[in-house]
């Protein structure tokens, strides 16, 4: 189950990061607007993401990191521009875990959501994982560079578990 929450029209006009939609994008936005959040915690996460920008937050019904995202989640800078170290397409969790383990001490794993622009102009927050380069102080991306990043840097213990389940 995916949770989608619309950005209120009044807020849409205020956010410069929200782009104009094509007719296809508008139709898709209308369809997504009909979907409902399963509970208040999912809605709270979606609102935090949409406060940063975008049209919708696609949140899985089972968001395993919901508690830590609500407690410690934050926006991550896209300046300087994220460094792209390309891994397998659509495998951000595994790519990040592999790179984290290959270069101990260089990165922290950050998991949360990335804002992507679809071909129809719709900006969607999707579940995503990336790395934070602790020396360069910038995002390291393993799939496709996103417009914005929002998530939580994992503790050493959380990162070990993340790697166990995703590498």
- Report the number of distinct structural domains present in the chain: 1
pLDDT digit string (tens) for 110-122? 999 999 998 888 9
Q: What is the mean pLDDT of residues 103-107?
A: 95
Among the residue ranges 12-26, 47-61, 102-116, 138-152, the one predicted with the least confidence is 12-26
Beta bridge partners of 140: 83, 131
Rounded Cα distance between 76 and 150, Å, is 6
The pLDDT assigned to 46 comes to 94
Prediction pTM value: 0.81
How much of the chain, in percent, has pLDDT values that exceed 70?
A: 80
The pLDDT assigned to 119 comes to 80
Q: What is the mean pLDDT of residues 155-163?
A: 97
Query: Could you tell me which of 157, 164, 140 has the C-alpha nearest to residue 80?
Result: 140
pLDDT digit string (tens) for 38-89? 688 889 999 999 999 999 999 988 889 999 999 999 999 999 999 999 999 9
Pair of tokens at residue 99: 């790179």
The pLDDT assigned to 167 comes to 81
Alpha carbon 147 to its chain's center: 10
Q: What is the mean pLDDT of residues 150-157?
A: 98
Predicted confidence band at 6 (pLDDT cuts at 50, 70, 90)? very low
Q: What is the mean pLDDT of residues 4-22?
A: 43
Residues 86, 41 contacting (CB under 8 angstroms): no
**Average per-residue pLDDT for the chain:** 86
- Domain span at residue 12? 2-166
Residues 152, 72 contacting (CB under 8 angstroms): yes
């Amino acid at each position: 189950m995916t949770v989608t929450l619309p950005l209120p029209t009044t807020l849409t006009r205020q956010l410069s990061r929200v782009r104009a939609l094509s007719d296809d994008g508008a139709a898709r936005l209308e369809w997504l607007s009909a979907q409902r959040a399963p509970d208040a915690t999912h809605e709270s996460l979606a609102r935090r993401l949409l406060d940063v920008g975008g049209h919708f937050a696609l949140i899985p019904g089972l968001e395993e990191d919901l508690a830590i995202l609500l407690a410690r989640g934050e926006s991550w800078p896209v300046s300087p521009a994220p460094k792209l170290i390309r891994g397998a397409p659509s495998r951000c969790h595994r790519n990040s875990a592999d790179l984290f383990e290959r270069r101990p001490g260089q990165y922290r794993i950050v998991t949360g959501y990335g804002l992507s622009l679809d071909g129809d102009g719709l900006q969607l927050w999707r579940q995503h994982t990336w790395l934070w380069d602790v020396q360069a102080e910038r995002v390291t991306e393993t799939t496709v560079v996103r417009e914005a990043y929002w998530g939580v840097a994992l503790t050493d213990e959380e990162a070990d578990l993340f790697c166990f389940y995703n590498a």
